[in-house]
Chain A
Amino acid sequence: AQSVTQPDIHITVSEGASLELRCNYSYGATPYLFWYVQSPGQGLQLLLKYFSGDTLVQGIKGFEAEFKRSQSSFNLRKPSVHWSDAAEYFCAVGDGGYQKVTFGTGTKLQVIP
């Protein structure tokens, strides 16, 4: 069965600092990987996704993620964090096509001035 681990429950960074959110997955074949962001009380917004091809994926809002098969990881990065990035971030893995997506437990990002 597929699974996702986000080892960091809560991360605090200073505005302008770089950010890396960790995500490890377990899946038997080539995974479909996603990062979503959720602001308080809001729905989910897709930041980026990886299906195949270039392992460095660019997303919206200046985020990028790198798929590393050897490490079963799909870490999310941003070179300079803005206060508006404070939210909860979910990594997810899907088994492709029309199958279900499994979410990690989320990482809450706090941005301090």
Chain B
Amino acid sequence: GAVVSQHPSWVICKSGTSVKIECRSLDFQATTMFWYRQFPKQSLMLMATSNEGSKATYEQGVEKDKFLINHASLTLSTLTVTSAHPEDSSFYICSAVANGYTFGSGTRLTVV
């Protein structure tokens, strides 16, 4: 079945630095990928829709300059959290449309 590989699984970074999260579709081409964020004990909230070869579409309230999304190929989308702060600490997860929106395993970001 369709597999989405997300790396890293967890990352700790210092406040003010940037962190890149990768999401790869391993056995299919994903023209569209979605990036979600999950705060502790809350549901997943869509941050942005990533389209191959074009600019991402961000949900209301999501800072596009802070959360940079690049979808340069049909198998790779990246989310870069720029100038990270402790309030950006969260669980980030990507998904692609394949067999009912296949999800990556998620990335736990902790900003200290």
Which residues of A line the B interface, CB within 8 A?
Answer: 32, 34, 36, 41-46, 49, 90, 92, 94, 97-98, 100-106
Does B70 sit at the interface, judged by CB under 8 A?
no
Q: What is the number of contacts between chain A and chain B, taking CB atoms within 8 Å? A: 50
* Chain B residues whose CB sits within 8 angstroms of the CB of A43 once the complex forms: 6, 93, 103-106
Which residue from B34, B43, B104, B105 sits with its C-beta under 8 Å from A100?
B34
Is A44 touching B93 in the complex (CB atoms < 8 A)? yes
Closest Cβ neighbor of A41 among chain B residues: B108
Which residues of B line the A interface, CB within 8 A?
Answer: 6, 31-32, 34, 36, 42-46, 49, 93, 95, 97, 99-106, 108
Is B93 touching A100 in the complex (CB atoms < 8 A)? no
Is B34 touching A101 in the complex (CB atoms < 8 A)? yes
Is B43 touching A104 in the complex (CB atoms < 8 A)? yes
Complex Cα–Cα for A45 and B34 (A):
16
